[in-house]
Amino acid sequence: MSLHEQLGRLDAAREVSGFKSEPAQMRAAAPGKVGELRLGFSLRGGRSVLHDLYRVAPLLVQQALYFDEAMPELPICPIISVGGGILQGDRYKIDIKVEAGASAQVTTQSANRVHQMDANYASQHQTVTVESGAYLEYLPDFTILYRDSRFINQTDIVIAADATLIYGEMILAGRKHHHADERFGFDLLSMAVTARRPDGKKLFTEKLLIEKGDPTIDDPAVMKGFDAFANVLCLTPPDVATRIKERFGTNFPDEAPRAISGVSRLPNGAGLMLRAVGVESYDVRREVRRFWQIVREEARGRTLPQEFLWR
């Protein structure tokens, strides 16, 4: 499917229909505002390498680096946003494929900021393909939605039954210390993810939708007292999922918790979902790392290295 078909479907979504005005700056989806990234990983002589790289600014990947001390065979690609964040009218397409037996990690250089908007919206479509026996960690850093921003994202995953993918979405509900209206002050966050087998069988799908003025945001069962959350999918064979779930203890302390988290089973034997909610982004990140470490140990027999001091 062409770039325009996939992004065009997002343009047709009901929730962006109220945000069709053109920016006073460059028009929406103009050249320079359509970022594209295609990453292909495969085994070459027993080593996982980045064999395919295509990029269009404002998205950029330079090369794969091998700096994970606990998993030195892992090619790591940080995605760099040369634009300094997502702007109104931006359209992004990211396509990641890990071929049979290969491993890879894709991350981002820093938090992904969705800037304030007074016209249009930003959209992103991702395809993630993980072939037989392959392993992918796709864990972008936090997405921070500035007030009045609008962001719609669709992620389509195709994964073989014996492959493992950990894919995470971490969201901070605005620059909370910057302005009183920042917390959940954005106009729209729409994030959908669908996972299928290579034969097309649908395993799991989820859509998270937050529109401005949602009266339930401060419900105790939604986000009361918390400003950051994460949904982390771990698509993996059922026996691996069982081992991970047994090791990950639900975290729900009684007194003023900094973060809470728990792991649930996905339908159709697809794997697991970590939900984490916290006060600050680092509180949530700690829960995500706890899960990530168990996933890596159970799926690949490798642990996570110490987090860098500057993260």
Partner 1 sequence: MMPGGGSTKRGAPSGMAHLARLLQFSDSTLPIGSFAFSNGLESALQTGVVSNADSLLRYVELILRQTSRMDGIALLHAHRAALSGDYDGILEADQEIFCRRVGEEQQLMLTRVGKKFAELVLKISPSPVLERWLGDIKAGNTPGCYPVGQAIALAHMGADEREAFVMHQYGVASMILSAALRLMRIDHLDTQRILFTAQGRVEGDYSAVRELTLDEMASFAPVFDVLVAHHTTTHVRLFMN
Question: Scanning residues 268 to 307, which ones bind partner 1 (CB under 8 A)?
Answer: 268, 273, 275-277
Q: How far apart are CA 146 and CA 187, in angstroms?
A: 9
Q: How far apart are CA 97 and CA 115, in angstroms?
A: 29
Are 250 and 287 within 8 A, CB to CB?
Answer: no
Q: How far apart are CA 37 and CA 57, in angstroms?
A: 9
**What is the token pair recorded at 99?**
């071929």
Q: Give me the 143-182 binding string for partner 1, x by CB under 8 A, dash otherwise.
A: ----------------------------------------
Judge if the upstream peptide bond of residue 58 is cis by omega within 30 degrees of 0.
yes
Between residues 48 and 261, which has the closer beta carbon with respect to partner 1?
261
State the minimum distance, in angstroms, from the CB of residue 167 to partner 1.
15
Cα torsion 280, 167, 231, 58 to 10°: value is 60
Phi, psi of 10 (to 5 degrees): -70, -35
Between residues 129 and 231, which has the closer beta carbon with respect to partner 1?
231
State the minimum distance, in angstroms, from the CB of residue 267 to partner 1.
5
Between residues 39 and 266, which has the closer beta carbon with respect to partner 1?
266
Between residues 117 and 203, which has the closer beta carbon with respect to partner 1?
203
Stretch binding partner 1 (CB under 8 A), from 31-39, 52-60, 93-101, 199-207: 199-207
Q: Give me the 208-247 binding string for partner 1, x by CB under 8 A, dash otherwise.
A: xxx---x-x--xxxxxx-x--x-x----------------
State the minimum distance, in angstroms, from the CB of residue 33 to partner 1.
26
Assign 3-class secondary structure to 124-193: EEEEEEECCCCEEEECCCCEEECCCCEEEEEEEEEECCCCEEEEEEEEECCCCCCCCCCCCCCCEEEEEE
Please list the alpha-helical segments (H only) found in the chain.
3-11, 238-247, 281-300
Would you count residue 266 as binding partner 1 (CB under 8 A)? Answer: yes
List residues binding partner 1 (CB under 8 A).
Answer: 14, 190, 202-210, 214, 216, 219-224, 226, 229, 231, 249-250, 252, 254, 260-268, 273, 275-277
